Amino acid sequence: MKDENRFNRKWSIVGVSFTTLALSYSVMYSYSVFFVALLKEFGWNRSLTAGAFSSFYILHGLAGPFVGSLVDRFGSRRIFLSGSLFLGIGLALCSLTRSWWQLYLFFGVLTPMGVAATGWVPNTTVIQNSFKEKRGLAMGLISAGIGIGIVICVPSIQQLITRVGWRMAYLIMAIVIPLTIICMVMVFLRARPQTPRSHPTEKRVIHTQDENLSRVDEKWVPGPWTLQRAISTRPFWLLSTSLFFTSLVTQSILTHQVAFWVDEGLELLFASYVVAMTGMVSIGGKVFWAILSDRIGREVTFTLVIASAICGIASLIAFTILTSPSLPFFYAVFFGLGYAGTASLPPLIIADFFEGRAYGRIFGAIFVFNGIGGALGTWVAGFFYDRMQSYVPFFIIMIACALSACLTVWIAAPRRVRGLARTDI
Res 134: pLDDT: 67
Calculate helix-pair angle for 76-94, 64-74, nearest 10 degrees. Answer: 140
Res 7: pLDDT: 56
Q: Are 140 and 288 in contact (CB under 8 A)?
A: yes
425 within some domain: no
Long-range contacts of 390-398 (CB under 8 A, 24+ apart): 390/320, 391/256, 391/260, 391/316, 392/317, 392/320, 394/252, 395/253, 395/313, 395/316, 395/317, 396/317, 398/248, 398/249, 398/252, 398/253, 398/313
Cα–Cα distance measured from residue 408 to residue 246, given in angstroms and rounded to the nearest whole number: 11
Kindly report the CATH number assigned to the domain that includes residue 335.
Answer: 1.20.1250.20
The range of the structural domain enclosing residue 326 comes to: 2-187+209-416
19 φ, ψ to 5°?
A: -70, -45
202 within some domain: no
Shortest CA distance to 382 belongs to which of 3, 38, 80?
38
Helix (H, G, I), strand (E, B) or coil at 12: helix
397 within some domain: yes
Q: How many CB atoms lie within 10 A of CB 81?
A: 17
DSSP 415: G
The HSE-up count of residue 388 (CA atoms within 13 Å, CB side) is 12
- Category of 323 on φ-ψ map: left (φ > 0), alpha (ψ -120 to 50) or beta: left
411 φ, ψ to 5°?
A: -70, -40
221 within some domain: yes
13-24 per-residue burial string, b: 16 or more CB within 10 A, e: under 16: bbebbbbbbbbb
pTM above 0.85, yes or no: no
Res 220: pLDDT: 58
424 within some domain: no
Q: Which residues contact 64 (CB under 8 A, 6 or more apart)?
A: 116, 121, 363, 364, 365, 366, 367, 368, 370, 371
Q: Which residues contact 329 (CB under 8 A, 6 or more apart)?
A: 274, 277
Shortest CA distance to 144 belongs to which of 251, 293, 281?
281
Cα–Cα distance measured from residue 391 to residue 385, given in angstroms and rounded to the nearest whole number: 6
Res 11: pLDDT: 75
Cα–Cα distance measured from residue 280 to residue 264, given in angstroms and rounded to the nearest whole number: 23
**Per this entry, what is the length of the chain?**
425
Cα–Cα distance measured from residue 407 to residue 409, given in angstroms and rounded to the nearest whole number: 5
200 within some domain: no
33 within some domain: yes
Res 3: pLDDT: 54
Q: How many domains does the chain have?
A: 1
Cα–Cα distance measured from residue 391 to residue 252, given in angstroms and rounded to the nearest whole number: 11
Cα–Cα distance measured from residue 243 to residue 344, given in angstroms and rounded to the nearest whole number: 12
204 within some domain: no
Q: What is the CA radius of gyration of the chain?
A: 21
As averages over each run of 10 residues, the pLDDT of the chain (425 residues) reads 59 84 86 86 87 85 83 82 92 94 93 89 78 71 78 81 92 93 80 45 38 45 75 93 94 86 84 82 86 88 96 94 86 92 88 82 86 86 87 93 96 76 36
Res 200: pLDDT: 40
Three-point CA angle 161, 167, 168, nearest 5°: 70
DSSP per residue, 390-402: -SHHHHHHHHHHH
Strands (E) across 207-318 are located at none
